[in-house]
Amino acid sequence: MLALPATQPCIAPRLQQQQQHGRRRAAAVTRAGPPEQHACNGSKKKLAVFVSGGGSNFKAIHAACLKGQINAEVVAVVSDVPSCGGVAYAAQHGIPTLTYPASKKGLFPGLTPQELVQQLKHELGADYVLLAGYLKLIPVELVSAYKRAMLNIHPGLLPSFGGKGLYGERVHAAVIKSGARFSGPTVHFVDEEYDTGPILAQRCVSVSPTDSPKQLAARVLEQEHQVYPYAVSALVDGRITWREDGIPIIWEAS
């Protein structure tokens, strides 16, 4: 098995020599393959997906599961907006839905953090949690229950253009305003803060100075629908190992 980059590189001329050296070093480190215990055991895993809107990344993951590209099934969808498109899609496909958190205005009930962990981990048996456009901060109880087993996708190249309040078109507007020449989605593990967990995979798209946020968003979204299923497939197959400094590495399937 060989480790392949999970990123389409954004190569500036002054970085080419450095990246060539990095590729030579990576080849030397990964030639032996990942530890034996990380091989896929073939059993189908269970996924819980969190959404707040239309759920296009959820739909891409669900479609990849149905096609056998991800060795898993979606067993629950959690949302803070019970009327959103992602919840409607789940209902249409017979996927159980949960609400977290409850509405602050009392418009609808919702689970507590403890109830959320109980439902997902113990009653539904979800092996992994995936955030797909979920805008609320994940409770520490769930982060603790799914350490190194919860992923999020962000529409910018972290660690830049992330954090509380930076989501959706706000990210793309900030990228364009900054003058950055590249953007793209980031898949990362989830910790107790917004967008600060270890980066697992990224893809790059070019940014034109004349782009509108909507134009850039469309190009980034296309890459989101490719890189997220790719990363989730590696996660459920056990094809992720961790460097001593806490950086995850995806290994290509044999």
Whether residue 226 has pLDDT greater than 80: yes
**What's the pLDDT at 41?**
55
**What's the pLDDT at 124?**
98
At 36, is the secondary structure helix, strand, or coil? helix
Taking only the tens place, the pLDDT of each residue in 3-48 is 444 444 454 433 344 444 433 333 323 333 564 544 445 689 999 9
On whether the CB atoms of residues 236 and 127 are closer than 8 A, the answer is yes
Confidence grade of residue 105 (pLDDT, cut at 50, 70, 90): confident
**What's the pLDDT at 127?**
98
**What's the pLDDT at 43?**
84
Say which residues have a Cβ less than 8 Å from residue 217's Cβ, sequence separation at least 6: 155, 168, 169, 172
Catalytic residue among 62, 93, 122, 154: 154
Whether residue 240 has pLDDT greater than 50: yes
Q: How far apart are CA 89 and CA 86, in angstroms?
A: 5
As a whole number, mean pLDDT of residues 119-131 equals: 98
Name the pairing type of β-strands 128-131 and 150-154: parallel
**Mean pLDDT, the chain, integer:** 88
SS3 of 34-61: the string is CCHHHCCCCCCEEEEEEECCCCHHHHHH
Confidence grade of residue 1 (pLDDT, cut at 50, 70, 90): very low
**What's the pLDDT at 85?**
98
> Is 38 one of the annotated active-site residues of the chain?
no
Helix axes 56-66, 85-92, angle to 10 degrees: 20
What 8-state DSSP symbol labels residue 88?
Answer: H
